[in-house]
Structure 1
Amino acid sequence: MDTKTLMFFALFHLIFFLSPSINNALSTRKIRARKPYKSLVFYFHDIIYNGKNSHNATAAIVGAPAWGNKTILASQNLFGDLVVFDDPITVDNNLHSTPVGRAQGFYVYDKKDIFTAWLGFSFVFNSTEHKGSLNFAGADPLMNKTRDISVIGGTGDFFMTRGIATLMTDSFEGEVYFRLRTDIKLLFCFLYTTGGDGGSNLSYYHSATLAVVHYI
């Protein structure tokens, strides 16, 4: 054999014998979960209009299947109902507590055979502690005790944030009222700060390293 052929076979055998060790090392390596840089818990309260409660309803059916109507939620696991809501947000589970913002968006019941929904909504804050909004989207398998949806963005204090929100049904009364506990874990975001010279800085917070990078 010539020199090039010998070198090829030597390299081939080296890779062949080393590959199991590399694969084992990769398979046994643990993937560390990111720790959130910020955690928040809120409750939002949904009161669906049922034809008799227009004075305090915070949600309304705006779309229904052929066998349903816009006053009573449909049969077959509510499949086909589209509900728009403007719900109060509180920091505890008391409906009568002072709201810190509004949960605004919609949910649609999207399966006949399983009680489940798809959500798209925002938390719009108006308190002294938080300004701006958080945006959420994802599937909500309602029969599970806890469900995760994505935090897909935000404004103000939560500019361009990303994270996970864990939902839990904290209470419900028939098909008229329910209360959701929302446990929010933010993984990173950008924050505006004002410098001593009056200029604005844009800071990037990341949960993996807790590093802060400043942008002019």
Structure 2
Amino acid sequence: MQGQRIAPSLIVAGAIVFLISLSSATLAHGGGRRFVRSHDYDSPCKQMKFYFHDILYDYSNSTTNSTSAAATKPTALATAVSSNGTFFGQMVVFDDPMTSSSALPPLLNVTADSVRAQGLYLYDKKEAYNAWFAFSIVFNSTVYGHGTLQLMGADIISQKTRDISVVGGTGDFFMSRGVATLRTDAVEGFVYFRLQMDIKLYECYV
């Protein structure tokens, strides 16, 4: 017994419905913009430069201005290896302002137009200072847009510049991928440091 034949018109109608749903999903995430993938290091689809300000609370400074706090203590191994201590095993949670210039903003609260870095870093080397980052850049900005970028990787402090990965994004940065190059711009004891961060996205909506 032969199977029933499906009318060609039904096949065409089904294909149209599928294409419309696929287009709608793309517009919902990309906002009608074009997704670009660059394979040339010198030609990112989007580039941004920020300064990352971290003020660690150590019981002596202002709780109002502090933007990070140690969630764990250094391990005993840290002081056993180094008389000065390397903070090995210590984890710090932060909610840091990010600015387009190196000047520290006068108010460190979340404003209606801001870019902030929120996440953690931990010290992961016994013999010297070395950190590992995992954080989101949260955009609520008329200049840069709205959404987040997710970054993670090793911050090898002894190197002048070091790269960490941009592994994803949401909102205006949906599905973004790329590299963030870090450079230590200022250090004040163990309480404050500032990083210059150059972000190059090689997969993004434009």
| TM-score, L = length of structure 2 | 0.70
**Cα deviation, residue 32, structure 1:** 6.1
Q: Residue 96 of structure 1: which of 96, 105, 108 is its match?
A: 105
- Matched with 1:139 is 154
Q: Does 1:38 find its partner at 2:53?
A: no
Deviation per CA, 1:168-192: give whole Å up to 9, x if none. 1111101000011110010012x3x
**Cα deviation, residue 120, structure 1:** 0.2
Amino acid at match of 2:187: F
- Matched with 1:185 is 200
Find the residue that maps to 1:106 and give its secondary structure.
Answer: strand
- Matched with 2:72 is 63
- Matched with 2:184 is 169
Matches within 5 A, 1:95-114: 95-96=104-105, 100-114=114-128
2: CA distance, partners of 1:80 / 1:57: 21
Change (3 A) 1:103 1:37: same
**Cα deviation, residue 37, structure 1:** 1.2
Q: Does 1:122 find its partner at 2:136?
A: yes
2: CA distance, partners of 1:97 / 1:41: 20
Change (3 A) 1:79 1:164: same
Change (3 A) 1:65 1:100: same
- With a CA cutoff of 8 Å and minimum separation of 6, indicate the structure with the bigger relative contact order: 2
Find the residue that maps to 1:63 and give its secondary structure.
Answer: coil
Residue pair 2:75, 2:87 contacting (<8 A) in 1 also: no
Amino acid at match of 1:123: I
1: CA distance, partners of 2:89 / 2:44: 36
2: CA distance, partners of 1:132 / 1:32: 25
**Cα deviation, residue 135, structure 1:** 0.8
Change (3 A) 1:32 1:156: closer
Amino acid at match of 1:92: S
| TM-score, L = length of structure 1 | 0.67
1: CA distance, partners of 2:173 / 2:138: 11
Count of residue pairs the alignment pairs up: 156
Change (3 A) 1:179 1:33: closer
Residue pair 1:91, 1:100 contacting (<8 A) in 2 also: no
2: CA distance, partners of 1:141 / 1:170: 14
Amino acid at match of 1:173: E
- RMSD between aligned residues: 2.1
Unmatched runs of 5 consecutive residues or more in structure 1: 1-30, 69-73, 192-204, 206-216
- Matched with 2:57 is 49
